[in-house]
Structure 1
């Protein structure tokens, strides 16, 4: 006897036919499987499936730190449509009470509590004698609870004063450097201030010291510095550094000096033995052409002309054209995006 039968499988159906005493298909009914919940179904959370993930089975979830459970029912059920039930509780990211900031006072009282919502702002004020780090004119700052449950950083640093003018170099002593409340006392070896000091000591380093007043410099008198060779600059080099090493190692950036002063201690400042002449920068920085002579820290890496991320035209053009873009016309600026990415890849490796 021939015939047919229809089976309902979930939301679909299948028909099997009996012909010549045999069914043309083998059919079985399998339970609906919801699989793993989407990671955003309850986020951020860990799921447990003690009974599996098929129809009617239940799953429980625990919030991942620092998220906290809001609600009481942390159970999901696999429904007949193959989807997990809508959660009756959720995991909400919150921040613990922010850790104290040294030398700062918390101004927002509610920030002493834990479980603060993402986006919460806490205001701080630096104590007297301190200011916001890298912002000398500001004493107040805010920290915010971020989406990963942590707090944005904020810090205070001591107020500092500029050193006394170079004329006083070597003739004062301070109780706490140049910090707030430090007391600096001057030691005047020459109260009259009119003893002369010989203005010599530069010629040994190919320096030409021009005196605008007399062969002898009085206390407080400044003398301009020039190099015998044109387009050279006077710089301070420590004893372990040479002119050759500065030119060879492009990252060296010695301090440029335009004048020296006769101090109250009757000595030149800076000391002439520390002064040297090095090749200056050509006046082509920031002209969209990478000049090899300027591709060094001392010349701000040619004003950014040698890196694609910093040149205005976004295209590096070496000058002259024969300049090797893998050597003297390469992107040397350590702060350029290209080099920061390279350092990041190297650290991961």
Structure 2
């Protein structure tokens, strides 16, 4: 049975009992990160309001040299309010647009009755939420410089901001907060790999990028020859930069939860046993890595005197039902940091 590492705060609703500022030299190695001088501002190409609580944007990004979709989930009172704290919400490597959270979780309904403006940026297979060493995409600049400036200037976002994400987006949430100390009130990772320099993880990342059709050396270079670049992408190597940021980290054991007819995994198995078992196997492997590195990250943070709220459910695989539950467990930590009611 997993025991919560000493020095960690227990997350609310805990289920029953993988996973420092960038120096000038590293910035040079990275070929530019969010710490570099920002490109000229992003601009809105189109905005379509859907109902009272959602706006679909098309945003031109100079750093990406592309027009990207962004979804805004509006808080209660948005029409009458002057500004709102903002929660940037990242998805994983395999999601191709900004709609995964709206299609696969109840976040839209949740956001509509709370007091944070929720921003859903897009992603790209193998984009790594990073400014690529080899040139090309500059996801980090878009997500942490251009887009926040646009949200503050045109969509009532305040300077108080937080970021949460799942899987690769969970790693990115902690990385962004570490790269911009003091700019993020809270950062939350669900099934991320926040100790990405742990043994074997570079192999896992490179395989994931190859599976996505991306040159595995393009985003961060070679893990050995460009080890400084890889280290700069690892939240655990920069944990001191997270002091003062409210942190939430969660991951499950990778053991499937089959609790009854209402469990999504049960329905999947009944409908398509072969596909469900193959998916569960992959989900278990990835979640096990997330679990191990999340525990290591939380232990390292606690040993450095950086508080972490942690939730490590005894069962669950790398899938949306798990993340739909975990973001609600993170909410009290995020809301308190943003200064709004939970």
TM-score by length of 1: 0.20
Higher Rg: 1
Higher relative contact order (CA 8 A, sep 6+): 2
Structure having the larger proportion of residues in helix: 2
TM-score by length of 2: 0.20
Structure having the larger proportion of residues in strand: 1
